[in-house]
Structure 1
Amino acid sequence: MPKSLLALLLLVMPVPALAQAAYCSIPQQVPRPRPEPPPAGEPRRLIPAAGYTLALSWSPQYCATARGADSAFQCSGRNGRFGFVLHGLWPEGKGRDWPQYCRPADLLPRQIIRQNLCTTPSAQLLQHEWAKHGTCMTTRPELYFNLARAFHDAIRYPNMTLLTRRKSLTVGQFAAEFARANKGLKADMIRVRTTRGDWLSEVWLCMDRAMEYARCPVHQRGAPAGARLRIQPGPNILPVRSRAAPAPRPSLKLDLDPNARVPAD
């Protein structure tokens, strides 16, 4: 079997991801999402992808203020206690605009929700990510989520418990710690997003068109490196030993799907 084909099969194989969950228990009846049509003011945008962003959310911060049924699986504690979760894999444009809502999105099958709920613990967010971003990368949701999950599973994290206790942590120091945990990742490939009060909200990892980690574009702003950073306490999860991210190659990009090109308007 050719090595590239073997790598592809490993990439798309559904496996549970518990690296940032104290535990994760999926109910027999998984939550069902609502349709996610483009909202008012969010136009369908058919432009080529010039790069990608892997967005990771710090779940304890989200759950500190989240309310409503859509956040119950992630925040109630009945199904798990989560650290970093996968917000999404987003195609980016050359400038400030990005492709979005490229095709109509059917409701995700229950099996796809089940396979991804420990990684992105919200059925509604999974539906949103497929509708807004995934439809601009492939016509098959399983390809989109398998690829996003493969990148998520390869990420290693610093000791968040220790960082939470630091009284004088800056954004730049956190980015350096995050990069140090991942071979091939550098601080300028990371954008740290914060909420009011300098609380850690998300970490964005920038990638080029070949899905190799790359320096973030200037327009993709995050919190300043010298800004104070506070971290909402989360589950005590021991760091996993650093390893390299999956080695993307052109044959593994989602244009392996013959219908994955951005459709003509």
Structure 2
Amino acid sequence: MHKGLLALLLLAAPAPALAQAAYCSIPQQVPRPRIELPPSNEPRRLIPIAGYTLALSWSPQYCATARGGDSAFQCGGRNGKFGFILHGLWPEGTGRDWPQYCRAADLLPRQVIRQNLCVTPSAQLLQHEWAKHGSCMTTRPELYFNLARALYEGIRYPDMAQLARRDTLTVKQFTAAFARANKGLSPGMIRVKTARGGWLSEVSLCMDRAMDYARCPASQRGAPEAASLRIRPGPNILPPKARAAPARRPALKLDLDPNAQIPSD
């Protein structure tokens, strides 16, 4: 296995992270998802990977409007209170299309769900991410989620409570604050998605094929820089203990093919 990737995966391998959770407790019986098949309007696409997106959802916004049993763990408050959650790690194409649903995806093992539920607090979302995106990167779900979790754990966040209190805030000001918190990240590598009313919904970080931060392609659009941004207050999250951010992964390429796997030596 690529040595840089191996070191990154080992950082993420033990217990679930609490970096963006005020607390998180996993029940003895973890939620079970449903098998997810490609919907009729989203066909299977086997195309080359040109880069990646790390998508981070602002949980308070999602929970403000979420309905249904799939959101109970994330939004009920009984098992945790969350700030930014890992929506997913997505392979991107060269234009407006991206690889998706590359192979049949079995139901995720309980242990994989348990390891990732404090980072992506929805078993069904985990199943969806594996079926739609992870299946295009590797045949082993634990490798996909270990990699995604390690990338997520390497992110640092601006003071969201302070930003939520501001009377005026633009997308440009927010991306500048987010970039300042992360070495090697610039505002042009960040896309912001908003919900109706200008509420912060999601932050996407663009990466190249080596999974280094990269300028977002023109086809990857977000809210305009000058747009006003509102942030729903999140839980009081203690800053993580100081530790070095995971090393970047030089020249790491996960090429798409019918038997795609993490490269080995």
CA offsets, 1:192-224, max 9 Å, x none? Answer: 100110000000000001100000001100001
| Other structure's SS at 2:222 match | coil
Percent identity reads 78
Residues 57-206 of structure 1: matches in 2 within 5 Å? 57-206=57-206
For 1:87, the aligned partner's letter is H
Contact 1:183–1:243, Cα closer than 8 Å, also in 2: no
Q: Cα–Cα, structure 1 residues 142 and 257, in superposed 2: closer, same or farther, change >3 Å? A: farther
In structure 1, the partner of 2:247 is: 246
Residues 8, 247 of structure 2: 8 Å contact kept: no
Q: CA deviation at 1:11?
A: 4.6
CA contact (8 A) 1:150 1:246 kept: no
Structure 1 counterpart of 2:38 = 38
Residue 83 of structure 2 aligns with an amino acid whose one-letter code is: G
State the partner residue of 1:27. 27
Taking only aligned residues, the RMSD between alpha carbons, in angstroms, comes to 2.1
CA distance in 1, matches of 2:250, 2:14: 20
Q: Which amino acid aligns with 2:198?
A: D
Residue correspondences, number: 259
Residue 208 (str. 1) matches residue 208 (str. 2): yes
After superposition, the Cα gap between the structure-2 partners of 1:167 and 1:9, relative to the gap in structure 1 and judged at 3 Å, is closer
Q: CA deviation at 1:168?
A: 0.3
Deviation at 1:15, TM superposition (A): 3.1
CA displacement at 1:16 relative to structure 2: 1.7
Deviation string for 1:138-178 (max 9, x for gaps)? Answer: 00000100000000001000111110000100000000000
> Partner amino acid for 2:176?
A
| Kept in 2: contact 1:49–1:92 (CA 8 A) | yes
Q: CA deviation at 1:256?
A: 11
Distance 2:256 2:98 in 1: 21
Query: Unpaired runs of 5+ in structure 1?
Result: none
The TM-score with structure 1 as length reference comes to: 0.92
Task: Give the distance between the partners of 2:194 and 2:154, measured in 1 at CA.
Answer: 24
Contact 1:191 1:204 in 2 (8 A): yes
C-alpha displacement of 1:7: 1.8
Secondary structure of the 2:91 match is strand
CA contact (8 A) 1:200 1:229 kept: yes
In the other structure, the counterpart of 1:52 is: 52
User: Residue 49 of structure 2 contacts residue 256 of structure 2 at CA under 8 Å; is this kept in 1?
Assistant: no
| TM-score for the superposition, normalised by structure 2 | 0.92
Q: In structure 2, the residue corresponding to 1:124 is in which secondary structure?
A: helix
Distance 1:187 1:3, change over 3 A: same
Shift of 1:8: 5.0
Deviations 1:72-113 (A, max 9, x none): 000000000000000000000000000000000000000000
Q: Which SS does the other structure have where 2:107 is aligned?
A: coil
* 1:151–1:246 CA contact under 8 A, matched in 2: no
- Partners of 2:91 and 2:6 in 1: how far apart? 25
**8 Å contact kept, 1:181–1:242:** no
**Structure 2 SS opposite 1:250:** coil
Contact 2:157–2:181, Cα closer than 8 Å, also in 1? yes
Q: Using the alignment, how far apart are the partners of 2:154 and 2:234 within structure 1?
A: 20
Report if aligned partners of 1:15, 1:115 keep a CA contact under 8 Å in 2: yes
Secondary structure of the 1:90 match is: strand
Q: Taking structure 1 as reference, are residues 12 and 50 closer, same or farther at Cα in structure 2, changes over 3 Å only?
A: same
Check 1:108–1:185 CA distance in 2 against 1; reply closer, same or farther (3 A cut): same
- 12-21 or 228-237, larger mean C-alpha shift: 12-21
